[in-house]
Amino acid sequence: MKYTSIIIPFVGGLGMFIYGMQIMAQGLENAAGNRMKSLLEALTKNKFFGVLLGAFITAVIQSSSATTVMVVGFVNAGIMNLQQAMGVIMGANIGTTVTGWLVSSVEWAKFLSPSNLAPVAIMIGVIIMLTGKRRSTKDIASIVVGFGLLFVGISSMSSAVEPLKDNAAFCNIFVSLGHNPLLGIVAGAAVTAIIQSSSASVGILQSLAAAGLVPFGAAIYIIMGQNIGTCVTAILSSVGAKKNAKTAALMHLIFNIIGTIIFSIIAIAYLSIVNPAWAHGNITQTQISMVHTVFNIVTTVLLFPVSDWIIKLAKKIGHVEEEVQDESVVLLDDRMLETPGIAIQSTVSELVRMGHVVADSLEVARKVMFERKEEQIAFLKEEESKVDRLSAGITSYAIKLSTLQINEREHEEVAHMLQIVSDMERISDYCENISEFAESLLEKQVDFSEVGVEHLNKMLDVCIASYLYALEAFESNDRESALKTIEKETEADGLEISLRAKHIKRLTNQQCNTEAGVVFLDSLVCLERISDHARNIAEEVLAE
C-alpha cells in the first residue's frame, strides 16, 4: 500500500477543512457583529448567562480554544472575573460541538451530501462574493463558501483513508485505543494539542468514522482526550499573563479533566459490563457528534453547581490571591484581538470608562475654580496623569485593531475612537489648566468678583453639560444627545464672546482685580475649548 497516496490527500483535505471552518467563522462573526459587541456589555456575575455566552461565541467563531484564549485576555485585562470566566469556559465546550453536527449532517440530512452540495455551495458563494457589493452580502458569501470548503475537506479526508479499512495493522491501532482508555485519551489530547483545534480534531475522527475505521469504544476515549487537548492553546496563551489569567486557563483544564474522569468511569463500566459488544461496533459521524455533545452538556450540568470549588482549586494550584486593580491600567489585552468584534467593543468600553474619569475631573474643576483647596488641585493633577495613561493605552490598542482584517465599517469605528480619545484627553488637559489657574490665585491671594463668579458658573454649566451630553451620545450611540451637545457648544461660543466683552468692560472700569481678571479670561478660553472638543465627540457619533 502506498501511504503517500493516502497521506497527501488526507493532509490536503484537513487543510481545506480548517480553512473552510475559518472562512465560515469569519463570515458568521461579521454577520453577528452587533450581537457579539453587545455581549460584552451584558456580562454579569451570573455564571448561567456566561455558559450561554460562551456557547454562542464559540458556535460563531467555531473554536473553543479561541474563546478560552479570549477569556484569558479578559481576565488578564481585569474586564472579567474568574466567576464570569468559569461560566464562559463551560459554555465554550458546548459551543464547540456545532462543527461536529455540521459534518455529521451528511448522514442525517442526505441532501447535504458533500458530492452534491459542497461544489454548488462554493459556486454560489463565489458568485455572491464577486457580484455582491454590500458588506452583509459578502459575509453571507463567506459563510456559504466556508461551508462548502468544510464539506469538501471532510470528503477528501474520508476518501483518502478509505483504503485503510482493509489494513489490519491500522485497524488494530483503534482496537488498542478502545481497550486502553488512557491511551485513547492521550491520543485524542495529543492530536488536538498539535493542531490546536478540537473542532478540526473531531472532524478528523469523523472522517475516519465515515470510512468505517473507528470502533465505538475507541471513539469515546479519543473524544474525551480531545477536550483536554483543546486546553493547551489557552495554557500557552497564559504564559506571561497575570496569575488570575493563568488561573482561568487552569480552570479550563481542571474542568475538562474532571469531566473526563467521570465519563471514563461510566464508559469503562458500561462497555466492560453492561454492553461489551457495543464497544467493538463501528461508530458513525452522527454518533460522534452525539457523544461529543452529551459529554460536554452533561459535564457542564454536573460541575456547574460546584464550579466555585473548581475556581478555588485552580487558585490554590496557581497560588493566586485577589489583586487590587489599578484604575489607570487599560483593561485591554492582545488575546482579545482574536475576535475583533469583541475587541472593538472592549475598546469602546474602556473609552467610556476614560470618559467618566474626565467627567469626574470636570466636576472637581468647577469646585477648584472657586474653593481652591490643595487636595482638589492634587486630585485633578493625578486624574490628568491617569487619563494620559488610559489615552496612550487605548490609542495603542486601537492602532493594533486597525491593522487587523476587519471590515470597512469597523475600520471607521476604530478611526472614530482614535479621534474621540484625543478629544477626551485634551479636555482632561484643560481641567489640569484650571487647577493651575486656581494655584495661581491661591498663591497671589486674589479672588474673582461676585459678578465674575456668577458668569464663570454660567459658563461652567453650559460647557460641562455639553461634555456630559457628548459622553452620553458616545456611550449609548444616541444621536439626540449628540445634537444637544452641538446646541450647548453653540451656546458656549456665544456666551464666551458675551462674557469676555462684559469682563473687559469691568476691567476698564476697575471693578475687579487685574490678576484675577487675567485668570478669568484664560478660564473662559479653557471652558470654550472644552465645549469645542465635546462637539468633536458628538460629530464623530453623528458620522457613524
pLDDT per residue of the chain (544 residues) written in tens, 0 to 9 = 566 777 788 788 878 877 877 777 677 666 665 555 555 555 545 678 888 888 887 777 767 777 787 787 777 766 677 888 888 888 888 888 887 787 777 665 655 555 566 777 788 888 887 777 776 677 778 878 887 887 787 778 777 777 766 666 666 676 676 678 888 888 888 888 877 777 778 888 888 888 778 888 888 888 888 888 888 877 877 776 677 778 888 898 999 999 999 998 988 888 888 788 787 788 888 888 899 999 999 999 999 998 889 988 888 887 765 554 556 677 787 877 877 877 888 888 889 999 999 999 998 888 888 887 888 888 888 888 899 999 999 999 999 998 887 777 888 889 999 999 999 999 999 998 888 888 887 777 777 778 878 888 898 899 999 999 999 999 888 899 999 999 999 999 898 888 888 878 776 776 667 777 787 888 888 999 999 999 999 999 888 6
Q: What angle do CA 448, 450, 454 make, to 5 degrees?
A: 95
Neighbours of 275 (CB within 10 A): 11
Q: CA-CA-CA-CA torsion for 160, 162, 167, 170, nearest 10 degrees?
A: 70
Is 251:84 a contact under the CB 8 Å cutoff? no
Q: Which residue has cell 469538501? A: 152
Q: CB within 8 A of 469, min separation 6: which ones?
A: 481, 482, 484, 485, 488, 534, 538
Residues of the chain with CATH 1.20.58.220: 339-543
φ and ψ of 285, to 5 deg: -65, -40
Q: Which residues pair with 215 in a beta bridge?
A: 282
Q: CA-CA-CA-CA torsion for 399, 401, 402, 407, nearest 10 degrees?
A: -170
Of the candidates 335, 342, 306, 309, the one whose C-alpha atom is nearest the C-alpha of residue 246 is 335
Instruction: Indicate if the alpha-carbon torsion angle 187, 191, 197, 203 is positive or negative.
Output: negative
What is the distance between the alpha carbons of residues 397 and 418, in angstroms, rounded to a whole number?
10
* Side chain identity, residue 377: I
Q: Which residues pair with 282 in a beta bridge?
A: 215
SS3 annotation, 40-82: HHHCCCCHHHHHHHHHHHHHHHCCHHHHHHHHHHHHHHCCCCH
Q: Which residue has cell 483504503? A: 163
Cα separation values, 478 from 229, 410, 449, 487, 540, Å: 45, 18, 39, 15, 12
DSSP 8-state class, residue 194 = H
H helices, E strands: number in the chain: 23, 0
Give the pLDDT confidence score for residue 180 in this predicted structure.
Answer: 82
What is the distance between the alpha carbons of residues 406 and 341, in angstroms, rounded to a whole number?
8
Q: Name the fold adopted by 339-543.
A: Methane Monooxygenase Hydroxylase; Chain G, domain 1 (1.20.58)
Q: Which residue has cell 467563531? A: 61
Give the pLDDT confidence score for residue 486 in this predicted structure.
Answer: 93
C-alpha cell at 48: 448561567
Instruction: Indicate if the alpha-carbon torsion angle 424, 430, 436, 438 is positive or negative.
Output: negative
Give the pLDDT confidence score for residue 168 in this predicted structure.
Answer: 64
* Side chain identity, residue 279: A
Give the pLDDT confidence score for residue 240 in this predicted structure.
Answer: 67
What is the distance between the alpha carbons of residues 414 and 420, in angstroms, rounded to a whole number?
10
What is the distance between the alpha carbons of residues 169 and 524, in angstroms, rounded to a whole number?
87
Describe the crossing of helices 33-42 and 4-31 by its angle, rounded to 10 degrees: 70
Instruction: Indicate if the alpha-carbon torsion angle 71, 76, 78, 82 is positive or negative.
Output: positive
Of the candidates 369, 381, 253, the one whose C-alpha atom is nearest the C-alpha of residue 317 is 253
Of the candidates 185, 266, 267, 193, the one whose C-alpha atom is nearest the C-alpha of residue 229 is 193
